[in-house]
Structure 1
Amino acid sequence: MVAFLEIEYWKLSDQSHVKNITIMHGVLSFVISLLLVFRTNTAYDRWWEGRKHWGALVNNSRNLAIKLSSMLTNDADRNFFKQAIPTYALMLQKHLNDESTEHQLDEDYVIPIKHDHHRPNQVAKILIQKVTDLYKEKKITGDQLITLNPELQSFTDICGACERIKNTPIPFSYSSFIKKFIFFYVMTLPFGYVFSLGYYVIPVVVFIFYVLASLELIAEEIEDPFGDDANDLPTRKIAANIKKHVGEIL
């Protein structure tokens, strides 16, 4: 519409001051580039930090299972941890994804989950209580108890770090400003570039809008990495791998 008005209706000449509006776009292009780079980098940092924490959960679950496999001789105790360690990853995945579920270990062991309470904390408490009971029953020594403590403590540390990512989104005013900036930047592009591009300004402006808006949408997509979208972290698959690996070890 702008191209039609300037070319066919208003018939503006090359001497029109409207042509100089491109100076504004040249100045603001650097600003919008900085904003979008910061926006996408911040969103990716959140996604990558979440992936690092879930990677640490995988490693710590394996390490805990390896230590327990060398310490425990009772099959019932080994079977408990074989089921309980993966349960923490499963509960953390559902906690971060706001899912509700009831999970049974097997016919012999049942972890009662209260859905109005913090689910990962309940599983962590049961794990630590079981290790403490093993020490009281003299199935493990005090030194072994100290050896197991870092992995047990790391579960809650990882949960807290993931909650910090999930519960601290990018400030709304910041993301809202970028959207408004992109909108007004693109909407004013045709006024100046019609003089040099004519009707070709239509596909050019559409392409520019596609690039700028896509960067913003990509940032929105990955800034919360714990959902079920295609670009979110595969936490469900990671939890399943933890169950598989711990089962092989124990």
Structure 2
Amino acid sequence: MPSPCQFLRQLSNHRGYGFPDIFRFKGSVLPSCIPVIFCSTIFATIVTVLYLVYHVNLLLPGDLIGAVSVVVGLLLGFSTNNAYDRFYEGRKLFTKMCTHVRNSTRIIWVSVKDDRRDKEKNIKLMLAYVVAIKHHLRWEFDTEDSDLSYLLPPDFHFHDDNHSHGPRTRDGAPTRDGAPENADPNQGGAIVLPSMKSAFRSLASRVPPTTFRSLRDSHLIKFAEEELTVNMDASMCLPLEIIHRLGLYFGQKHREKKVDTTRFDMLTGHLNALIEILGDLERIGNTPIPFAYNLHLKQVVTLYVWVLPFVMVNVLEWLTIPAIMFISFVLFGVLAIGAEIENPFGYDENDLPLDDYCKVRIIRNVALMLRFY
């Protein structure tokens, strides 16, 4: 029989109807909808007071709303379905990438006739590719992340103009054998599960590109662009750098007859597939729904909600106010869901848990393989 603490934990993780989901605000779109719901309710209150108290005739024919309701529903359905398709495709691509990495690490560990330390170093590179993809999709272009620097070998560097070398610790000192200073010796210093990064680091990447375009002439944005340029020059192609280095390693071992042609072709195929997945993930993250469509949809939904009081007030009277509040919550909530999951690679509650995918699904599994076999 579960203890009271375990029962409460199971209850809090319950996903379905009833308590506590109907009272849950974390991960809900309600906070982002409160301003527009409040404005719509205030507007409905004004219309209701004018009609019932001051007897101002503001009625509109109901047939107008019936014709527009179908169009609004189709627009909302298309927006939400398109956003969820991007969310689901991102999940499938990340899973596919993890599968290719698992197969590649297995072939390296079993079929490549090389020193154990060299094989571990290149398997770490395979893991670093997954972590680098995660940061690449979040516009975090550096190698000093706690979950990335220890996976890269100490001689890893970028082919940039500044010849920036990495990985290094936070104080600028080189790491020990590519592992952080606090690496766990019980795990052989090979792979240590890192802690989750702060959500504030992705704040700049969550700003819509249209906002940058509209404020491009301001000094603040110019300064931000200069800083992004400095940080992006060194490591914006980190995943491709890792793939290039792995390709050189596989080619060298094939020339040295340390891996047969069949296994070499399989490894090359996995690398090609990883590059293709990178392009597909970039397409999802860098191709938002057209701004004109989102803008028009928000305008249409807002006008629709604000016209409803003129149709409903003669029937519902004072109940028009709570009715408009409820309708605003439904429609603007659906609209906010589409915007929430449109880019699934950030730190929001409704984004894909990429940190857990990297730590649990990939790094931990491969760490067990390196430790016990």
TM normalised by structure 1 equals 0.92
1:17-61 deviation digits (Å, cap 9, x = unpaired)? x54422111111111111101110000000000000000011111
Provide the C-alpha distance between the structure 1 equivalents of 2:298 and 2:149, rounded to a whole number of angstroms: 46
For residues 345 and 339 of structure 2, the distance between their equivalents in structure 1, rounded to whole angstroms, comes to 13
Count of residue pairs brought into register by the alignment: 245
Pairing partner for 2:298 from 176, 179, 182: 179
Partner SS for 2:349: coil
Aligned counterpart in structure 2 of residue 154 of structure 1, from 273, 277, 286: 273
Checking the alignment, whether the CA contact within 8 Å between 1:3 and 1:201 is kept in structure 2 is: yes
Map 1:1-250 onto structure 2 (within 5 A): 1-12=46-57, 19-73=59-113, 74-102=115-143, 103-105=148-150, 109-113=154-158, 115-116=232-233, 117-240=236-359, 241-250=361-370
| Structure 1 CA distance for aligned equivalents of residues 152 and 337 of structure 2 | 45
- CA 1:109–1:145: 2 relative to 1, 3 Å: farther
Distance 1:5 1:76, change over 3 A: same
Q: 1:239 to 1:107 in 2, by over 3 A?
A: closer
Alignment gaps of 5+ in structure 2:
1-45, 161-231
By how many angstroms is 1:106 displaced? 6.2
Deviation at 1:132, TM superposition (A): 0.8
Shift of residue 111, structure 1, vs aligned partner? 2.4
| Aligned-pair CA distance for 1:151 | 1.0
Change (3 A) 1:94 1:153: same
Q: CA deviation at 1:11?
A: 5.0
Query: Structure 2: how far apart are the matches of 1:110 and 1:214?
Result: 50
Does the Cα contact within 8 Å between 2:128 and 2:152 map onto a contact in 1?
Answer: no
What's the CA shift for 1:91?
A: 0.6
Give unmatched runs, 5+ long, in structure 1.
13-17
Q: For 2:85 and 2:155, how far apart are their aligned partners in 1?
A: 38
Asked if 2 retains the 8 angstrom alpha-carbon contact of 1:111 and 1:123, the reply is no
**SS, match of residue 61 in structure 2:** helix
Residues 244, 126 of structure 1: alpha-carbon distance in 2 compared, 3 angstrom cutoff: same
Instruction: Find the residue that maps to 1:31 and give its secondary structure.
Output: helix
Contact kept, 8 Å, 1:226 with 1:232, in 2: the verdict is yes
d(CA) in 2 for partners of 1:106, 1:221: 32
Please report how far the alpha carbon of residue 108 of structure 1 lies from its aligned counterpart in structure 2 after TM superposition.
5.9
Runs of 4+ in 1 over 3 A off after TM superposition: 103-110
Q: Is the 8 A contact 2:83 2:341 kept in 1?
A: yes
Change (3 A) 1:108 1:169: closer
Q: Is the 8 A contact 1:96 1:163 kept in 2?
A: yes
Q: Which has the higher contact order (CA 8 A, sep 6+)?
A: 1
Which position in structure 2 is the counterpart of 1:15? none
Q: Is the 8 A contact 1:36 1:215 kept in 2?
A: yes
Q: Is contact 1:53-1:158 (8 Å) kept?
A: yes
Q: Which moved more, 1:93-102 or 1:162-171?
A: 93-102
Partner of 2:176: none
| Cα RMSD for the two superposed structures | 1.7
Superposed CA deviations along residues 109-162 of structure 1, whole A, max 9, x for unmatched, are 442246524111111111111111111222112222112121111111111000
Q: Give the partner amino acid of 1:231.
A: N
8 A Cα contact 1:80 1:109, kept in partner: no
Greater mean alpha carbon deviation, residues 24-33 or residues 40-49: 24-33
Is contact 1:19-1:195 (8 Å) kept?
yes
Q: Deviations over 1:83-119 (max 9, x none)?
A: 1110000111000001133144469644224652411
> Which stretch of structure 1 is more off in the superposition, 232-241 or 213-222?
232-241
